[in-house]
Amino acid sequence: MNHELWIAEKEGTIIDKETGIKYLIEELTDRYILQIWKPKGEKPFINKAFYKKDYDYMMSFVKGAVNSQKRRLEYREEKKKNKTLSCHVKCAKEIRQELKKTFPNTKFKVTSQTYSMGNSVDISWENAETSEEIDNITFKYQYGHFNGMEDMYEASNLRNDISQVKYVKCNRTITNNKL
C-alpha cells in the first residue's frame, strides 16, 4: 500500500487522502484490532480483531475498503456526467417551456410524477387562460387515453418528436379577486 497517499490524524487514525476512508489499528499483546470508517461515518463499518500472524490479511480489509470507496466515487462521477432526465421529467420541462412562451404573463406550476404502470404531468395555474386553451397546447404530450368500455389504456397519440406521458392533468384555480 502506498503510504504517500495517507495522512495521520489524531490518536493514530489514518486517512486516505483520495477517498477519505479512515482506519485505526490498535495493537494488543496477541492481536490487532482494526476499525474502518467511511468518510462521513460516525461508527466504524468494520470493527474486527486479527491475530498478529494475519497482518497482511487485515490490511486486505483496508485495501478493500479503499477500493470500494474509489469505485463508489467513480460511479457517482460517471452518473453526474451522463445525467439523463426521465421521460416524465423531460415532458414536464417541454410543457413548461411551451406554456411560458405562449402565455408569458401567466405563472404555471408544472410537476411530474411516476408510479406503478405509468407517469403523469400536472399543470396548475390561477385565473387567466381557460382549461381548453391549455388542453389545446398540452394534448400532444399525452400518448393515449383510457378506454372505459374495454377497461384499457390505448396508445392513440404516440409521437417520436416530443416526450410524452400517460396522463396530462390541468387544474385551473379561479380566485375571487380576479372575477
CATH class of 87-178: alpha beta
Structural domain boundaries of the chain? 3-81, 87-178
What integer pLDDT is reported at residue 161 of this predicted model? 92
Q: Which residues of 89-119 are buried (b: 16+ CB within 10 A; e: fewer)?
A: bbbbebbbebbeeebeeeebebebeeeeeeb
Residue 178 has pLDDT above 60, yes or no: no
| Whether this model's pTM surpasses 0.75 | no
Look over the chain and give the mean of its residue pLDDT values, rounded to a whole number. Answer: 87
For a pLDDT cut of 90, what percent of the chain falls above it?
56
